[in-house]
Structure 1
Amino acid sequence: MFLWRYTAAVLVLLSAGWCERLPPRLVSSSPARLEKSFGRHSRLHQCQYMLKHLQDGDQITVHMPPDIAGHWVSDSCEVRSGPEFLTRSYHFYNNYTFQALQFYYRDNQCTEPSYTLLIEGSVHPRQASWVVRGGTEADFQLSRVLLVSHSPAAAEALQVKLEQSCGLVKRLDPGLSYELWADGTKHSSRDCARGLDFSMQELQLLRMERLHRHGDPATNAEELFLGDVHTERAQRRLHKPSGYQPPLQSVKTYDASCVTCQIVSEADLYNPPVLPSQNERPLRLYGNWVSRRCEVRPGVLFLTRHFVFYEDSNIWEGHYYHFSDPVCRHPTFSISAKGHYSQGVPSTAVMGGTEFTFTVTHMKVTPMDMATASILNVFSGDKCGKQGSWKLGVQQDVTPTLGCAALGIRLPHTEYELFRIGRDSAGRSLLFNGQRPTNGSSPDQPHKRATSYQPPLIRCISSQKGSTGIGKEGDHHFRLGNGYKTLDQHLIFVIMLVELVFWSI
């Protein structure tokens, strides 16, 4: 009972972000931990090397609360659920006021501006987040929202929306600014910004990272992460962020190769950025793809991913490594999944996207810390592998038990996916797959298919011929999407419940 109480308490404290209350420090690498996780022979494997590099490559400094004063811009054409295509240019000032520009487009390459929003207000960073470890909670107050449309077609479409939502009768003309909302005016009760599903809830969660390239503090880069936007547009104004959007780049430190950063930084309310047009790249999934950074998901979840698609068949494997910290230093558990997928067809809902159907048929799980092993051993019967058999670092096949109830996974499992191919500023191939629903559900029906994307993966090996068994590359752990309900999302409530029961005895 004491061990259970101890491990449960540790997990609760970790998930709440207590460790982030320590003074800011440079996060150092722990290669021995990852070396053991990957297996000895994986040192020569390019994909595993790239994942390992996330831990002991560029070093990261995180200051809490963050000093966000400065000019921050998008480094690519971003996609929000709906879909919406946009770029962002945010100024934060030393007196806690801000001026944000959101540029919206008709196309997925951000070459055809539709309209721009200018948002002014104030934001005050507060305490370390209890929801997302490594994040800082903040309070914000809006003072004004302006709208400028950039074409007659855009003005007409906006006119219809605003007439329906707030009774706006004034004619919208391209190139002229209109006040959608203002604090302290006689029209403040009429919120026309609501008609655009507009929200700045993203300012409630902040994280700023300084990346020291090649370990040299003199060549640092700064990135600002703001809270995620709810995947259901109607829920945006009620959503409390529990993850992040793609990071914004500091205008002072962005890499010279980031053409988008430069274009967005020079734009204004009346002159939106127009990004260079690119040829649509053919969607070839074949090969290996890995995470470029430690990723954050709603529900206190940090992870890295590795997908494998085989050239001679429609077989896929997905390798997922889960961690307890926002820089992916401390592994908690990992999952291996294998299955098949359908050939994709162009999406009619999301420009540039391709629709796929994925099925999971086999799965293995490995607990990577004692707390996770203890939790898995609590589940009785045939709900998750062999009862009471879970050991630290030992992989177990859960296919015979049709998945793992502890992780909310049942087999076989089918998901309806969205993919697209892109490239970074260096011309390297990137693979995007569908954003997971904010409410934690799975896209297990066609109408639940995503209309936005997760952080991209980067190609590490061009192709794979034939199919290998799960786990051949040492201790691989895979999962396609994060649509399955996870340990942190569900078992943390069990842990807290056990704690409450214990203290009430």
Structure 2
Amino acid sequence: AAGCHVCHLVAKGAELSPPQLPPKPKLPVHLNGEWLSLRCEVQPLGLFLARRLLFQPGNGSWSGWFQYYRDPNCKQRWFLLSRQGTYELAGPSQRLRGATKVNLRTLAAQILPQHRGIVTNLNSAAEDGRCGSRWSLRRTQDVTATGGCRLLGVSVPSTAYEVAHNELDVYGNALLFLGHADTDGEASRPDRRATAYETPLVQCRSLPEPSNELSGRPLALVSGGAAVRPLLLCWLPLLLQLVARD
């Protein structure tokens, strides 16, 4: 294509002499706003996940909604985990090029069981006082007072020592990459930050001022190969939830 420098480099390349493409510009880490999963994400123990994160720079707070499913299409809900806390940027990562260290502190957490199977598991864990009290289907329970829920690997208070990186996709949408979570069950430590990224999140919008307006919004993932503009993304969680409602 005329005027396409990258296209010209690729056309001149060969099997024994691959094209040397220019590196992507390095973007400063930008957490501000609401970020959504693009697709169903694979998790340990045969579970799948859709995430929504909200960072409010005005007061240094963050909230996360982690919707877990039992199927790879993210249709069969298992439970919803909500977290709230504070965050801070801790400088460039020495282990992962282009990443910035981020400390995510969880100060409160809630769990909404959405299947009878997880209700049974939670009630067994609650007997020793380490995962809330008596659980019921589709009733949210705050587990802050019991220090979280050991069964689900939730500790309150706790700090996740993360890494973050931003990129732009081909449509100009902002992407947020966070560190790939450990699966060995050990607590997060500053010297054990991730060296690889999870599936990226896409930004719905920026929030220049603190806002609590998102706290009651349903959660759903964003999927599809077409260009998706940020304004549309803001409405997708609500629209998809209405379409997919059981």
* Pairs within 5 Å for 1:22-421: 269-379=15-125, 380-386=127-133, 389-421=134-166
Which of these two proteins has the greater Rg computed from alpha carbons? 1
Secondary structure, in 3 states, of the residue corresponding to 1:282? coil
1:475 deviation in Å? 5.2
Find out whether 1:427 has 2:172 as its counterpart.
Answer: yes
Structure 2 segments unaligned to the other structure (5+ residues): 221-246
Query: Equivalent residue for 2:215?
Result: 472
1:411 deviation in Å? 1.4
Cα distance change on mapping 1:422 and 1:349 into 2, 3 Å: same
How far apart in 2 are the matches of 1:261 and 1:326?
Answer: 36
TM-score by length of 1: 0.40
Cα distance change on mapping 1:428 and 1:474 into 2, 3 Å: closer
How far apart in 2 are the matches of 1:439 and 1:381?
Answer: 24
How far apart in 1 are the matches of 2:180 and 2:100?
Answer: 14
Letter in 2 for 1:284: H
How far apart in 2 are the matches of 1:267 and 1:298?
Answer: 40
- Aligned-residue Cα RMSD (Å) equals 2.7
How far apart in 2 are the matches of 1:265 and 1:435?
Answer: 35
Letter in 1 for 2:162: E
1:473 deviation in Å? 1.7
Letter in 2 for 1:437: D
Find out whether 1:448 has 2:195 as its counterpart.
Answer: no
Q: Is contact 2:89-2:100 (8 Å) kept?
A: no
1:397 deviation in Å? 0.3
| Structure ranking higher on relative contact order (CA contacts 8 Å, 6+ apart) | 2
Greater helix fraction, Structure 1 or Structure 2 = 1
How far apart in 2 are the matches of 1:306 and 1:459?
Answer: 10
Letter in 2 for 1:329: K
Query: Deviation string for 1:77-129 (max 9, x for gaps)?
Result: xxxxxxxxxxxxxxxxxxxxxxxxxxxxxxxxxxxxxxxxxxxxxxxxxxxxx
Q: Is contact 2:103-2:159 (8 Å) kept?
A: yes
1:465 deviation in Å? 2.2
Cα distance change on mapping 1:371 and 1:281 into 2, 3 Å: same
Cα distance change on mapping 1:336 and 1:276 into 2, 3 Å: same
Secondary structure, in 3 states, of the residue corresponding to 1:435? coil
Number of matched pairs: 215
Letter in 1 for 2:159: T
Structure 1 segments unaligned to the other structure (5+ residues): 1-258, 478-505
Query: Equivalent residue for 2:241?
Result: none
Q: Percent identity between the aligned chains? A: 33
How far apart in 2 are the matches of 1:280 and 1:429?
Answer: 13
Secondary structure, in 3 states, of the residue corresponding to 2:75? coil
